[in-house]
Each structure stands twice: as structure tokens, then as C-alpha cells.
Structure 1
């Protein structure tokens, strides 16, 4: 009996020890799960408040960081600020509690940017120019009505407008119909350079304005089939007024959008400048748009007219609604001049700084167009591979627009954090495309990385100069053609140099070299 009792007690003791061991093991495993995440971070989604970022102060939040004198960040140096934030906080950074603005989440991860793009709904909200939105939908609603265009417009009205106009604008075969017109304007610009350069072949310090004139002339030809005479010896007064208004708008809209929005409370001087500039742009462009409409070149069965302007093509889609074509043309003038001009200025500067690359490009152009009088066609443009690579490399290192973004229309998990609806997610393309994580020797200007024989694998979302998805730049096809043809003509005719002190890039508000663009254009022999 004592033996049985001993065995039974021994068994109970062993069983109890086993249960206690298993219990301790379960507790240990549970603690491990709570204190660590899997490498894929699949089962552990952190809260929005856990996203790292600069701490907001009581009452004034993070707004003080962008104020004059006491602030840490300048609009002109957003590129530097973005790099600093990534180095300090990582691939996702929250900047919250900015006066009168939604929270911002800055994203420095190409895979996560792709994820946001791939998951956007039919009405993606792109946070852009709230001041222009107010101008179109409140201040000048009597003119725009429900046809607000594609710039600073969202929701059903944006979708209806874009759906109507995107077919003749985004189709590559339509854009190629304008090669001859774009080439003619580029040749006029070559002639203008020969007239305005000095004895040392150097152009004046205000050469960026001359590039603006070329861009305006190109858009007028494409959109309206009208020659404004921007590149003539005596530039029209209307043209000068329009260029000045566009420059004033872009110089001031950055202040309205990036700094404390006092304009929403009272009419600030910056706000008044912007409104005056927008009204001037609208009035001058409407003059030329009206002229184009009065030409009455379009007929009911004229859809096969290859020489038709974009205005005419849009009118063909909806003959009873001329406002549709009018507002599209306005948007093209609004955002198509400064952006294309800035891109050309940046490309010319990079050509001047990389003479070996310019030499390679010149040889390619000579092999495809041996005679300077040879006209460009689609076939020749397709063969200018190094030209496209050079442009693409410029956009990688010095994108005209440093970032893009979306206002989330639904809650979403990003980088392991749950980000709520309404937050502005900003895609920091400039930082990503200049990162060693995505590009080997990222700080070196190497167009060769974009050639087919190069085996370097590049993430498709690591460099997006024209955006992506439903809100991709609507004028991309035309902008690419304008830039490619102009650069080809300039390199074909001139050896391009910059003999002054090297320039630094700044946001002005587009990203381009800060200083006099006094290039030296020496004739090729």
C-alpha cells in the first residue's frame, strides 16, 4: 500500500512539473511574440501614432518648423529636408499637426509607393494646390462651373473630364502627329539662340525666359494650332504678359501651399499676386482660344484631319460643349510651360557638366541624322536611345517635381503601420531615385544605366517623373516629344558649355539650377 501510494504521489508530482513547464514555455513564447516581429512583419501592424517623425509642440504643432527665422526648413531646400528626415527617422515619417492642413506621411520606399498606387480606387485624391482649387471652384466658379479641368480638381467632376479628354491626349500615335510642328518650333529656337548670343557665344543671364518662350510657342501650336510669334525678334506684348503671369503664379503658389496658409483667413499680398496672375493667364489665353474656336476649321466628318489641333480634337468629341476644350487648353498653358522649361534647363545644364556624355549623344544624333536638314520622323526618334537615356537620368537625379502624393480615401497598412483615411501620403521620389538602395553609384550621372544592355535591375517605382496611375501627367506624351526633339536639335547644332561657377539646385518652386543660365552655344563644324 505504501509502495502504491508512493508511485501515485510520484506520478502526480511528475505530471504537475510537466504542466508547469509547459505553462512556462507558453508564457515565454507569448512574450517573444509580443516583443518581436516576424521578418515579413505580416502579423504585427503598429498603430498610426507609432509612426516616427518630428515631435509636435503644444498649440503650434509642427507649423513652426516652416516659419521664417525660427523655422528649420526652407521651401527652397525641400530636397535637403527630405534627405534629413529619411536619415533620422527611416522609410516612413509622420509630420503632423501643421496648421490648417491634414497630417503628412512621407514615404521613402518604392515598394510601398507601388502598393499605394496599385490600391487606389476609381477616384484617387491627389493633394495639390488647394489655392488653385479655391480659385476654380469658389472664386471663379462662374467661369469654370462643373468643368474644372484636371489640375487641382477631384471627385466625379475630375473623372468625367479626364475620361472625355484622355483618349486623344494619352495615345502615342496622336502625339506623334505633331512631330513636324514641334520640330519647326525647335528650329526656330535654334535660330533665336544664334541671334541672342553674344560675341563669346554666351547667352544672357535671363535665358530661362527664352526657354519659356519656346515652351509657350510649342503648346500654342499643339493645343490651338496658332503661331504666337514668341520666338520672333519682336516678342508680342501679350506673350510677355502671359510669361510674367505664369512666373508670378509659380513663384507665389509655393508660399501659399507650403507655408502657414494665412490666405485662408484674409487676403494676403501673396494671395493677391496669385489671383491677379491667374486672372491674367485666363484672360490672355482665352483671347487665343477664342481665335482658335473662330477659325471654324472643324467639320462634322473631320475626325481624320491629322493636322487638327488638340482643341479641335476635343471639340470633335463633344461639339456642343466648347467649355471642355477651352478649360483643357487653359490647364495645358497653366502647367505645361514652366514644367517643360525647367526640364529643358536642367538637361542643358547636365549636358554642359558632362562633356563626355554630350559627345556620345552628338555621335548618336550624327549617325541617325547625318545631315542637319534631315527631318525627324517617328523612326528616327525611336533610334535616339542615348538621348532618351540622358533625359531619363536627368529626371532621376534632378526631377522637376520632387515628389507626388495621395490623400488616402481609405484606411491602409503602409510599412507595417495602419494609416487612416484622410492622411496625405507624400511619395519622396527625389530621395528614392538618389538612393544607393535603388541605384548603384546613385550620385554619379550615368545615362548608360537606362540602356537595355545594362544588367542593373531597377525598381519601376524608384523614378516616376510623370507620376503613375489614373492621375499620371496627362500631357506626358507631348512633353516627352517636345523635350526630345529640342535637345536633339540643340546638340546637333551646338556644343553646349557652362563656363561660370557651378550651380546648385533649388526649388524655385520647380527643381532646377539656381543662378544665371548663361550657356555657351558654339556652332558645330
Structure 2
């Protein structure tokens, strides 16, 4: 019976040929066999259902990717012009959000040579990640791969895929994701938080303002991650910093910016040596030059016994002593860990500070929790276990401003998602930003409400509606480091200042979500101090982001 039902439901030879052609047009790379396997997948699904169904007429056959709605786009370039229009530059997360509003929770679009499928529904996200194999394929930027080829470099944790990625992941995760190991860096991170707060005070007394908050936050982030990886103080928050440090920070920003610009047609940019490509290569060269200099210096200290016996071992020492990575792999992976901790953590802290400044009730509640648990002392790892509202603040801020607003997967085999057969090698975008602003999953999504994440709220959330650090084996390898940095520094800021704000932050996307240069935001940091001195944290191009009036005293 099943065989007869299948014969009726499988397309005719002419229809199958048309299906093959359609699938070929929609696949990511070589798809000569994809359409055949897609039809087999449909046939198998029909067979399974027909065996248990009263009649073939009641069987629902999976649809193909061609049946998905989505924007039509233009020949060759697809929807790429939509993202590069002046009003939409740096707004891919918002463009995707608008597409979902128009086409639903799942749509397809041709973006340059690639046909992507975008999803913004936690049930479909869960369906996808539950079906992933041992090596989930999160595609790195083509520009990263091209750079490594021209420099003959190995891929690192950010840029590798398949078994190579899995080997690196296993080597790093045993240290970066182990809570006990990360807790050992509490003192390092608290020291940097103290320096950061004192830096703000110094700039107020010296200049009356902070010319570039964005820069100060990046320096804070680099100082933190260097302490964890290298056990080094780079002096990022000193009055005068080494030009090489400033060049490295700038290069990280340029690399992420141009990487996003080169997301489509990277090979064409390389062939014609365009300005974005040249800037991209120069940025990577600067990053590796500076990182290699730091690593060689540290390795020399280790080999000559110049490391303090009681010092907490940094991740570089862990990798050398306890993994099977060769030195080229150690260099590449420590470099990628070092650079990935700069823009991500700095922007996450900026948005958390902004959200607290805009929401005084939440800030007062956090202040009360910090005062109650820490009692005016430096926060410890044990204290953090008893500070649920602090963690809720960070989680809610990441919902509204996820560092990586759009994640991605490339299908390793033909896969049925939400009733559609998605061919092997298709790139699927996971729109966390869009889900984070969906009223269905987060009531009143435009409002900052940390309490929604507390157990006492009784508000059950879909576990896949918000995944700012990814999921499973593809979860961000630096997640626990980043979270602890944010927790400890927010605690120190809460102990030191009261924050107020007027104006709104606008965002732009340059791989990571970033405060837009032209945002107009003012924040006050006050306390019961009788002083009325003001100082400003100015963003790029002199845009005010924080105005500090008074310190908070204990």
C-alpha cells in the first residue's frame, strides 16, 4: 500500500527534473546530488506516514525551499542592495526583523550567490539544533578564510569547521567554560574594574569629561582578556598607552566592520583589491603582529622561569601545558580569543550601563542587591552566586542588544524544518534579535524588565527564544569569561556611581551590535556627595553618551 501511495505522490519525471533545477538554483555550493536526496527525503517521509495513515490523500508531503515566502530580489545580487542602501547600512538586524514581519517566522532570500533561509521562531530553532550532528557548521566569514589562505595560516576557533573545529573546541572549552577555572580570575577582573572606575574619576578631574567612552570600554575589555589569557597588564587604562595597543584595538574594530562589509562577494573584493579588502587585510596583519609579540614575550618568560609561582595560570599556559595543540595552533587560537573579547564585552557593558541609567527602578534594585550581598566590599565569586538580579540585568540587556544578533548554520544534510525540506549546504540564519522583540515570547519587549528573568516572576519562557551565546557545542567558548567580566564591573560601577540618562542609543551592526556613532545619549552618575562637578563620556564624533555629576559614597 505504501509503495502505491508513494508512486502517486512522487512527482513525474518532468516534475522531478524541474524540482532538481529549482533546488540547484537555491543551494549554497555544489548541489548535483542534493535534489535527488531531497526527493528521497520526501518519499521516505511519505512512506513513513502512509504506513500508519488510512489513505494516501491524507498524507502531508514536506514542502521544498521554493515554497517558502520571501523577497524576490534582483538577478545575481538578490536582496544585497536592500542591505547596502544608505538608510539600511549597518542595519541588517533591523532589515531581517522587517522581513520577518512581512513574510513570517521563516522565509528565504537570495543574498548575492547564496540563498539563505531565515528563522525567528524558537520552536524551529530548537528543531534545527536538536538535529545537528557532531560538527555543527557555523559559517565563518569568507574574508577570514581568504585572509588565512594568503597568509598560509591555520584556522582557529573562530574560523575553523568540522573535525578541526571540534578538536580546538575540546582543547579550549575544558578551561574557558569550566566555572571553577573562570572563578580563579575574579581578582584579575576586579583589579581591572577598579582601574576602570579610577580612570573615569581621573578623567573627570583632569579634563571635566571623557572624550570617548567607547574607547575606554574597549581598553577595559582588552585589559581584562589580556589578564586572563596572558597574565599580563597591558596598561590600557593608563594616562599614556603604547601606540601598539591603540593600533590593536582599532584593528579589531576595522576587522569586524570590513568582515561584515565583505560578507557578500568577498572573493570579488579580493580580486579587485578594493578598499574594504585592503583594510581587512591590514587589520588582520596588525592583530596578528601585536598578538604574536605578546605571546613570544610570555613564552620566553615561561621558558626562563620568570613566571610567579603563585600566579593564576592564564589560558596561554593552560594551552601549552595541557593540550595537544602545536605552537601554530596555540598562536592562532590565543589571538582569536584575545580579539574576540574586545568589541563583544565592551559593547555588552555599554548597553547594560545604558539600560540601568534609563531605568532607575531597576538600577535601585540592583544597588540594593549589591549593597546587601557585598556590604561595601569587593565582589567575590561566592557573592555572585547570591545575586540573581545582577544576572537578570545582564540577561535582559543581552535580549535587547544581543552582541551577535544573527547566528547562522549551514545544513550538513537535507533537513526538514517546520515542514520544509532545506537542502544540504543551505545557510540558515537564526534571528535572535527578532525573537527578542517578539511580543509572543517577551511581553512588552521594548521595555527593560530584568525581573522577567527571575524565578519568582513565574514567567515561563521558551528556552530557545533567546540564545545570546549560542547553544550546545557551538556555544561561545568565552561565555563564562565575558559574563564574569560584566558581573564584576557592573557591581563596581553600582558601588561607585548612580547613573541617569536622557536620549536614546541607536545601533549599528559590524559583525557585533554596536552603539551608533551618532547616538545622542546623556547619562549622569550621582550620589549624596555635595560636589556638583560634571563630566561627560563622549562617544565617537563628540556625541555625549554619559554625563557624570556626582559620585556615590558609602
Please state whether the residue corresponding to 2:515 is helix, strand or coil: strand
Q: How far is the alpha carbon of 1:391 from its aligned partner?
A: 0.7
Q: Which residues of 2 match residues 315-354 of structure 1 at below 5 A?
A: 315-318=320-323, 321-354=326-359
User: Is the Cα–Cα contact under 8 Å of residues 402 and 513 in structure 2 kept in the other structure?
Assistant: yes
Q: How far is the alpha carbon of 1:265 from its aligned partner?
A: 3.2
Structure 2 unpaired stretches of 5+: 1-52, 520-538
Q: 1:79 aligns with which of 83, 87, 93?
A: 93
User: Is the Cα–Cα contact under 8 Å of residues 404 and 427 in structure 1 kept in the other structure?
Assistant: yes
Structure 1 residue 431 corresponds to structure 2 residue 434: yes
CA RMSD of aligned residues (A): 2.4
Q: How far is the alpha carbon of 1:498 from its aligned partner?
A: 2.9
User: Is the Cα–Cα contact under 8 Å of residues 107 and 113 in structure 1 kept in the other structure?
Assistant: yes
Structure 1 unpaired stretches of 5+: 1-29
Inter-partner Cα distance in structure 1 for 2:471 and 2:60: 30
User: Is the Cα–Cα contact under 8 Å of residues 189 and 488 in structure 2 kept in the other structure?
Assistant: yes
Q: Which has the higher contact order (CA 8 A, sep 6+)?
A: 1
Aligned to 1:266: 272
Please state whether the residue corresponding to 1:400 is helix, strand or coil: coil
Structure 1 residue 169 corresponds to structure 2 residue 176: yes
Q: 1:139 aligns with which of 133, 145, 150?
A: 150
User: Is the Cα–Cα contact under 8 Å of residues 365 and 384 in structure 1 kept in the other structure?
Assistant: yes
Structure 1 residue 246 corresponds to structure 2 residue 252: yes
Aligned to 2:285: 279
Inter-partner Cα distance in structure 2 for 1:259 and 1:248: 18
Aligned to 1:392: 395
Q: 1:364 aligns with which of 351, 365, 369?
A: 369
User: Is the Cα–Cα contact under 8 Å of residues 393 and 450 in structure 1 kept in the other structure?
Assistant: yes
User: Is the Cα–Cα contact under 8 Å of residues 78 and 109 in structure 2 kept in the other structure?
Assistant: no
User: Is the Cα–Cα contact under 8 Å of residues 219 and 336 in structure 1 kept in the other structure?
Assistant: yes
Q: How far is the alpha carbon of 1:127 from its aligned partner?
A: 1.8
Q: How far is the alpha carbon of 1:433 from its aligned partner?
A: 1.4
Q: What CA deviation, in whole Å up to 9, does each residue of 1:209-260 have, x standing for no partner?
A: 0111111111111000111111111112211111121122122221111577
Inter-partner Cα distance in structure 2 for 1:318 and 1:417: 42
Q: How far is the alpha carbon of 1:297 from its aligned partner?
A: 6.5
Q: Which deviates more from structure 2 when the two are superposed, residues 422-431 or residues 501-510?
A: 501-510
User: Is the Cα–Cα contact under 8 Å of residues 120 and 430 in structure 2 kept in the other structure?
Assistant: yes
Q: How far is the alpha carbon of 1:33 from its aligned partner?
A: 8.4
Q: How far is the alpha carbon of 1:200 from its aligned partner?
A: 10
Structure 1 residue 498 corresponds to structure 2 residue 501: yes
Q: Normalized against structure 2, the TM-score is what?
A: 0.80
User: Is the Cα–Cα contact under 8 Å of residues 270 and 277 in structure 2 kept in the other structure?
Assistant: no
Q: How far is the alpha carbon of 1:263 from its aligned partner?
A: 1.2
Inter-partner Cα distance in structure 1 for 2:207 and 2:356: 19
Q: What CA deviation, in whole Å up to 9, does each residue of 1:153-185 have, x standing for no partner?
A: 112221222222221111111100100111001
Q: 1:151 aligns with which of 148, 158, 168?
A: 158
User: Is the Cα–Cα contact under 8 Å of residues 67 and 260 in structure 1 kept in the other structure?
Assistant: no
Q: How far is the alpha carbon of 1:511 from its aligned partner?
A: 1.8
Q: How far is the alpha carbon of 1:298 from its aligned partner?
A: 9.2
Please state whether the residue corresponding to 2:368 is helix, strand or coil: helix
Compared with structure 1, are the counterparts of its residues 298 and 440 closer, same or farther at alpha carbon in structure 2 (3 Å cutoff)? farther
Inter-partner Cα distance in structure 1 for 2:277 and 2:74: 28
User: Is the Cα–Cα contact under 8 Å of residues 77 and 507 in structure 1 kept in the other structure?
Assistant: yes
Please state whether the residue corresponding to 1:368 is helix, strand or coil: helix
Q: What CA deviation, in whole Å up to 9, does each residue of 1:420-458 have, x standing for no partner?
A: 001001000011111111112222211000111111110
Please state whether the residue corresponding to 2:63 is helix, strand or coil: coil
Inter-partner Cα distance in structure 2 for 1:295 and 1:74: 49
Aligned to 1:472: 475
Q: How far is the alpha carbon of 1:320 from its aligned partner?
A: 7.8
Inter-partner Cα distance in structure 1 for 2:76 and 2:293: 49
Please state whether the residue corresponding to 1:440 is helix, strand or coil: coil
Inter-partner Cα distance in structure 1 for 2:225 and 2:70: 42
Q: 2:214 aligns with which of 208, 217, 220?
A: 208
Q: How many residues align?
A: 472
Aligned to 1:65: 82
Q: 2:106 aligns with which of 78, 81, 92?
A: 92
Aligned to 1:127: 139
Query: Which stretches of structure 1, 4 residues or longer, exceed 4 Å deviation after superposition?
Result: 198-202, 258-261
Structure 1 residue 518 corresponds to structure 2 residue 551: no
Inter-partner Cα distance in structure 2 for 1:452 and 1:58: 51
Inter-partner Cα distance in structure 2 for 1:511 and 1:54: 24
Inter-partner Cα distance in structure 1 for 2:310 and 2:414: 47
Q: Normalized against structure 1, the TM-score is what?
A: 0.85
Aligned to 2:45: none
Q: How far is the alpha carbon of 1:64 from its aligned partner?
A: 3.6
Q: How far is the alpha carbon of 1:43 from its aligned partner?
A: 3.0
